[in-house]
Amino acid sequence: MRPYILAETNWLTVKDQQYDLAILPWAAMEAHNYHLPYSSDVIEAERISAGAAGLAWDRGVKVIVLPTIPIGVNTGQRDIKLDLNMNPSTQSVVLKDIVDVLNHHGIHKLLIMNSHGGNDFKQMIRELGVLYPGMHITTCNFYQTLKLEDYFDEPGDHAGEMETSLLMYLVPELVLPLDKAGKGKDKKFKISAFREGWAWAERQWPRVTEDTGIGNPHKATAEKGKRYFNDLIKKIGDLVYELATTDSEDFYQ
């Protein structure tokens, strides 16, 4: 029973506890090549949040991890069977309701721990900042935290070596043998500005990849996943600690 996981703790513990910071893991429910579970992003967001929160808790900060929101923005994956989509406008309503609860109970800092590339909370945070000036909201994409090349030969973008390694380490029972996995080969945009990254358009997933994966999973190992995960939670745990211990009125130097 971890006191920093809301779903595991109880009223006896929570009622008199002051919290410095809440963490909201936000994920997606979508196909991940042939070999990874639909809940891959959920498992990543949940385990990384819990791991980072545990390290920060051990250093004395009071942090509470909220339940993972299991559905993300999957508009570009509409034609992939049972990829669930929550529109950004819906997400912003859900996020507002959660922020309202935190604000009402005097928990004035929130970290959104995002595991899904289609989710983008920045604009929602700007708008919520106007409605709730007392709240400090941070968003963090775990996959941008560390240099992936330091851990993986071909990290990949979706169900590639990085995600496959993580899941092999975290939930080996939910990963099919790699001979069942597709190659994760993706088609690139014809227009160079998109390839160079200075113009953006949404990728239509079924036109980009045949097996829903983007990135070769075949060099993935649980050992790579373990090393990456442990460094991730250390680094994000430091962020949690710093957010919790920095005065909201005093964020600049």
- Tell me which residues touch Zn ion (CB under 5 A): 40-41
In whole angstroms, the minimum distance from the beta carbon of 41 to Zn ion comes to 4
60 vs 172 by CB, closer to Zn ion: 172
Q: How far is the CB of 154 from Zn ion (least distance, A)?
A: 16
Report, in Å, the least distance between residue 156 CB and Zn ion: 10
The HSE-up count of residue 236 (CA atoms within 13 Å, CB side) is: 33
In the bound state, the residue with its beta carbon closest to Zn ion is 41
> In the β-sheet with 63-65, what is the strand arrangement from edge to edge?
63-65, 21-26, 109-114, 136-141
Nearer to Zn ion, 43 or 128 (CB): 43
- State how far Cα 94 lies from the chain centre: 16
Neighbours of 15 (CB within 10 A): 7
Longest dimension (CA), the chain: 59
Closer residue to Zn ion in complex, CB, 22/31: 31
Nearer to Zn ion, 205 or 241 (CB): 205
Handedness of CA 145, 148, 151, 155 (dihedral sign): positive
Q: How far is the CB of 149 from Zn ion (least distance, A)?
A: 19
